[in-house]
């Protein structure tokens, strides 16, 4: 969704929010799914990039929404999320994800079971959308207790990832 004034869309379910309006924060809440921040010169966006959203093209759509504001993002930041070593992922969607983002998304967990590498999928989606610079400095929500994990520990809490423009 495109947010044009503070508070717009509050409480609505959406996997991505972008804005070109200064002083208008956009936020996603996550616990295991990758949070992504998109930075343009005069616009910003946030994305909740779980596997369903990735499959449905939410990252590419958010990049396109910023481009529609006249400002395609150049840089993306990937926040703390579950990493492949902790993320068992079985079922027919494995091959759907590999078809979309390449076989490198099909990893293995530390337990030796089939895993899904969400950061690899996010970076592939960003690069396909033209965002070449991706900063990924955060760790794994499942095995680092500094973060909340819905999947590993059943945490009810969520982490908030915010972005805003100070000046238009």
Question: What does the alpha-carbon distance between residue 128 and residue 27 come to, in Å, rounded to a whole number?
Answer: 24
Question: What does the alpha-carbon distance between residue 53 and residue 123 come to, in Å, rounded to a whole number?
Answer: 14
Give the bridge partners for 70, in sequence order: none
Closest separation between CB of residue 85 and Zn ion, Å?
5
Q: Considering CB under 5 A, how many residues would be counted as binding Zn ion?
A: 5
| 38 versus 142: smaller Cβ distance to Zn ion | 142
Give the bridge partners for 17, in sequence order: 46
| 14 versus 143: smaller Cβ distance to Zn ion | 143
Does 116 bind Zn ion (CB under 5 A)? Our answer is: no
137 burial (CB, 10 Å; 0-12 / 13-18 / 19+) is exposed
Going by their DSSP bridges, the two strands 133-136 and 75-78 should be labelled as parallel
Does 140 bind Zn ion (CB under 5 A)? Our answer is: yes
Order the strands of the 44-48 sheet from edge to edge: 2-3, 16-19, 44-48, 35-39, 75-78, 133-136
Does 142 bind Zn ion (CB under 5 A)? Our answer is: yes
Choose, by CB under 5 A, the member of 64, 67, 75, 143 that binds Zn ion: 143
Closest separation between CB of residue 110 and Zn ion, Å?
8
Does 46 bind Zn ion (CB under 5 A)? Our answer is: no
Does 129 bind Zn ion (CB under 5 A)? Our answer is: no
Question: Hey, which residues between 62 and 101 contact Zn ion (CB under 5 A)?
Answer: 83, 86
Residues that bind Zn ion (CB under 5 A): 83, 86, 140, 142-143
């Amino acid at each position: 969704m495109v947010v044009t004034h503070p508070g717009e869309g509050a409480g609505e379910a959406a996997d991505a929010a972008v804005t070109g309006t200064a002083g208008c924060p956009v936020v996603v809440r996550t616990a295991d799914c990758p949070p992504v921040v998109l930075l343009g010169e005069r616009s910003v966006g946030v994305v909740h990039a779980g596997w369903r959203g990735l499959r449905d093209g939410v990252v590419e759509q958010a990049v396109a929404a910023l481009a529609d504001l006249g400002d395609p993002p150049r840089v993306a930041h990937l926040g703390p999320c579950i990493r492949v070593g902790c993320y068992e992922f079985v079922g027919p969607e494995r091959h759907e994800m590999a078809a979309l983002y390449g076989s490198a998304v099909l990893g293995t967990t530390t337990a030796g079971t089939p895993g899904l590498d969400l950061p690899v999928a996010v970076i592939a989606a960003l690069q396909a959308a033209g965002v070449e610079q991706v900063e990924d400095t955060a760790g794994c929500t499942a095995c680092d207790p500094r973060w909340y994990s819905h999947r590993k520990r059943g945490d009810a809490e969520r982490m908030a990832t915010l972005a805003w423009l100070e000046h238009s």
